[in-house]
Structure 1
Amino acid sequence: MDFATTLKFAHVLAAVLWVGGGFTTILASILLNGRSPAEAQLAIVRATTLLAPRLFIPASILTLATGVTLLFIAGWGWQPFTVLGLAGVIFTAGFGALVLGPSCERALKLADTHGAEAAIPSLRRVQRLALMDYAVQFAIVFLMVVKPSWSDFAIFGGIGAIIILAALAALRPLPRATV
């Protein structure tokens, strides 16, 4: 096996761990939503904050590093899937570090000071933001598989529409709790 193939395997493995691990935590939080006590729902956030520096951040860095290296080693150059994939990875890694991580920390701090139930609205907000982030991550995976050319406007329009719809869904106001 040559170096480029080894690098490609490392790239895909890191992406699987990053995207798959994060998606699993989102799915677990959705399944627990409304079916479990607030403390059980917070357990997913606690696990995510433990996994972030141990799995998600290293896997995202390895995905980025191997991807950029493959640009040059494999001779892919600045094709749409590499340019947009790179932009997407930078966005989602930054979004995770600057928005999702601190939002999880704030929700946990709120739960510690005011009780688990008080943190539920914050957890819903984090959940919605994570879904938006994963729309971008799934778009990156799609780009890596399809490898469209710059003239594939329908593909880019479809990806853009999905990301915009996910952002609108994530950013819409949360319904008020009924008493």
Structure 2
Amino acid sequence: MDWYSIVKLLHIVSATLWVGGGFTLMVLATLADRAGNIQGTLQAMRATGELGNRFFAPMSMLTLAFGLTMCGFWVGFSELWVLIGLAGYATTFCIGMFVFKPTADRMAAMIARDGVTPAALAHGQRILRAARFDYAVMLVIIADMVLKPTLHDVAILAAMVLVLAGGAALALGWPRRMVPSAA
């Protein structure tokens, strides 16, 4: 076994934990949201907020660090698939830092201050909408890392653009309006 294989394994494990863990929480929140289960939706949102800095950020940083290590020592930074991966990482990192974190913090503060209100639920809906695009980006990154497209792989690149457009459409779609129950 060589060092490249070890670093690649660590890169894949950290990426799996990061992407898989977040995807699971998004699915739970989406299922609860569609069922009208406000408490379930809020629980998934709280878990996302609590795990953001403790789990998701470290796993994403490890994924980046191991990926950069592979590129720096073995692969290089000039291949299109590496550049797409880095652009995708930067996109999802910015969504996490500038959408998920502040929105979850505002939602938690509103709930602590006023309880579950329509305004607090609107923040939860914003997180779910952003997650749809975020996971479209992550799907593109995963496909990019496996398929390693070049400029000649027009069909793969077009499919990646369609996935991003679909994620954007889902993110920009009209959310269901949830209101707290009177129970």
Segments of structure 1 that go 5 or more residues without pairing to the other structure are none
Question: TM-score if structure 2 supplies the norm length?
Answer: 0.89
1:125-164 matches, cutoff 5 A = 125-164=126-165
Q: Which stretch of the first structure deviates more once superposed, 161-170 or 144-153?
A: 161-170
Could you tell me how far apart the structure 1 residues matched to 2:140 and 2:106 are?
28
Could you tell me how far apart the structure 2 residues matched to 1:166 and 1:41 are?
20
CA RMSD after TM alignment: 1.9
Q: Which stretch of the first structure deviates more once superposed, 56-65 or 163-172?
A: 163-172
8 Å Cα contact 2:81/2:148 also seen in 1: yes
Could you tell me how far apart the structure 2 residues matched to 1:78 and 1:125 are?
36
Alpha-carbon distance, 1:79 to partner:
1.3
Give the letter aligned to residue 172 of structure 1.
Answer: G
Deviations 1:81-123 (A, max 9, x none): 1110011011101210111111111222222233224222221
Matched pairs, number:
178
Is residue 2:103 matched to residue 1:75?
Answer: no
Could you tell me how far apart the structure 1 residues matched to 2:147 and 2:164 are?
17
Question: TM-score if structure 1 supplies the norm length?
Answer: 0.90
Identity between Structure 1 and Structure 2 (%):
33
Alpha-carbon distance, 1:175 to partner:
5.3
Residue 55 of structure 1 is matched in structure 2 by: 55
Is residue 2:96 matched to residue 1:96?
Answer: yes
Q: Which stretch of the first structure deviates more once superposed, 102-111 or 72-81?
A: 72-81
